[in-house]
Amino acid sequence: MMSMPRQWKPLKRHPGIYEYETKRGKKYGIRRSYTDINHKYRTWSKSGFTSWRDADIELKKFEVTLGTGQITASISDAITLQAYFDKVLKRNIDLNLWRPATITQKKNYWNNQLKPVFGNQKINEITRQSYQNFIDQMIKDGYAKNTIITTNSVMQILMNDAARNDVIVKNKLSGISIDGGKSPSSKTITEKQYNQLMAVAPSVLSKYQYCMLALLTLGERREELMGLQFSSFKFSQWNDEEVCAIQFKKGRTNAEPEGGDLKNNSSYRTIYVRGEMLNICHYAITYSQNIYSKTHRNINDESFLFVNEKTGMPMGVQQANKVLNKVGEAAGIHITPHIFRHYFATMALTNGQVATDVMHWLGHSSLQMTQSYTRENVRGALNVFNGMAPTLLGDSDDEHQSL
């Protein structure tokens, strides 16, 4: 490459072509700007053409090589997948495109799965066959299918980004086959199991802990439960009855123990409760305020609802799981916050609630997501049967006559 001399003048009606005077007469040069792999502004130029047509032909050749990624081919010859992962990670952090929890997840899957095998390989030397063998080996090693799918998603992020930036001509790993993997643990409990859990809970939990369990039955995510603040609760009258609006506006995770953004825009929502759930909200708020007072902690509307009774500090986000584990062990049933969320979605739709209302209640961005949370159950199956029973065996009087 060479810098453009000051005497170069743009040739009219021919973008990218310039003319300049020399001792041997008029010459022509070309100049083309582009963005490299690191999103830096670069310039390519060439001079010494005796006619503008020759310069135009050379410029068009450069456009073709730029479009097919050949210009950056030398970069892909040198850059490793580790270096490219670092680049993509930095960009998503700098632009706040990934939440802290997402960053932690991507780094874990990279470090534990992809880095040991592909980290030191040149990005353009990773073949479809070698990557398919890697996926197949994960299946043989007994990894959960969700782990394999998420690992693959990280690799596809890197390869798609490299293809978009002309580091590689195309993503050769697109559409890789994942034919197996250990099935995920069950996210389903039956109505009988749910009732067993709720029956045993008061005898093994303190009332404050029971409030946490009760609020979880509303189907919110664990990070949303642990992110509840005093300002999340608004009490008012509705048709001469007291109701409480519960607003989800902050999430607490292991990556953001002080609270951060929720999962997506749809997660920012308000639900309404009444009756016994209203009493639970009142009790949790009052009890929490007393803890702040006894431990001499500052308290305001943005203080978190669930705090350690000895220190007055916000409970660790894993406390929700510990409370459920305590109840689950007493009932002999495996239970997690996410299982409660699936159960709520299933029973809400089974009981005939409007699908879009359930979607907004759960903070889903689409009906497809809400429907993916539902599981088959006896009540739902019998509801279908009851609705179809009159027509399944034909007219009952005619049937009796034929018998």
Q: What is the spatial order of strands in the sheet that 269-273 belongs to?
A: 233-238, 241-248, 269-273
Whether residue 104 sits in one domain with residue 63: no
Are the C-beta atoms of residues 55 and 84 closer than 8 Å to each other? no
Angle, CA of 106, 108 and 112, to the nearest 5°: 125
34 in any annotated domain? yes
Q: Residue 187 above 90 pLDDT?
A: no
Q: Averaged over 210-238, what is the pLDDT?
A: 96
The whole-number pLDDT of residue 121 equals 95
Q: Residue 274 above 60 pLDDT?
A: yes
What share of the chain has pLDDT > 90, as a percent? 65
Q: Averaged over 248-269, what is the pLDDT?
A: 93
CATH of the domain at 113: 1.10.150
Q: Residue 192 above 50 pLDDT?
A: yes
Whether residue 341 sits in one domain with residue 220: yes
Q: Residue 380 above 70 pLDDT?
A: no
Whether residue 363 sits in one domain with residue 220: yes
The whole-number pLDDT of residue 166 equals 77
CA dist 229 and 4 (Å) reads 62
Of the candidate ranges 8-17, 313-322, 350-359, 382-391, the one whose mean pLDDT is the lowest: 382-391
The whole-number pLDDT of residue 253 equals 92
Q: How many helices (H) and strands (E) does the chain have?
A: 17, 7
For the stretch 60-98, pLDDT in tens is: 888 876 655 555 545 556 789 999 999 999 999 999 899
386 in any annotated domain? no
Whether residue 61 sits in one domain with residue 102: no
Q: Residue 403 above 50 pLDDT?
A: no
Whether residue 306 sits in one domain with residue 200: yes
Q: What is the spatial order of strands in the sheet that 25-35 belongs to?
A: 9-10, 17-22, 25-35, 41-49
Q: 3-class SS at 122?
A: strand
Q: Averaged over 374-401, what is the pLDDT?
A: 63
Higher-pLDDT residue of 326 and 34 is 326
398 in any annotated domain? no
Are the C-beta atoms of residues 309 and 287 closer than 8 Å to each other? no
Whether residue 309 sits in one domain with residue 204: yes
Q: Averaged over 395-399, what is the pLDDT?
A: 50
Q: Averaged over 304-331, what is the pLDDT?
A: 96
Of the candidate ranges 65-74, 217-226, 322-331, the one whose mean pLDDT is the lowest: 65-74
Whether residue 142 sits in one domain with residue 87: yes
Exposed, middle or buried: residue 144 (CB in 10 Å: 0-12, 13-18, 19+)? middle
Domain containing residue 107: 80-164
Angle, CA of 59, 65 and 70, to the nearest 5°: 145
Q: Averaged over 200-212, what is the pLDDT?
A: 97
The whole-number pLDDT of residue 381 equals 65
Whether residue 373 sits in one domain with residue 255: yes
CATH of the domain at 218: 1.10.443.10
Q: Averaged over 310-321, what is the pLDDT?
A: 96
Whether residue 132 sits in one domain with residue 102: yes
Sign of the alpha-carbon dihedral angle for 308, 312, 316, 321: positive
46 in any annotated domain? yes
Confidence of residue 320 (pLDDT cuts 50, 70, 90): very high
388 in any annotated domain? no
CA dist 214 and 203 (Å) reads 14
The whole-number pLDDT of residue 76 equals 53
Whether residue 120 sits in one domain with residue 203: no
Q: Residue 402 above 80 pLDDT?
A: no
Q: Which of 207, 274, 269 is nearest to 235 (CA)?
A: 274
Number of folded domains that form the chain: 3
For the stretch 286-309, pLDDT in tens is: 999 999 999 999 999 999 999 999
CA dist 378 and 191 (Å) reads 9
Higher-pLDDT residue of 258 and 61 is 258
The whole-number pLDDT of residue 72 equals 52
The whole-number pLDDT of residue 400 equals 43
Whether residue 353 sits in one domain with residue 221: yes
**Which tokens hold the place of 226?**
């642990």
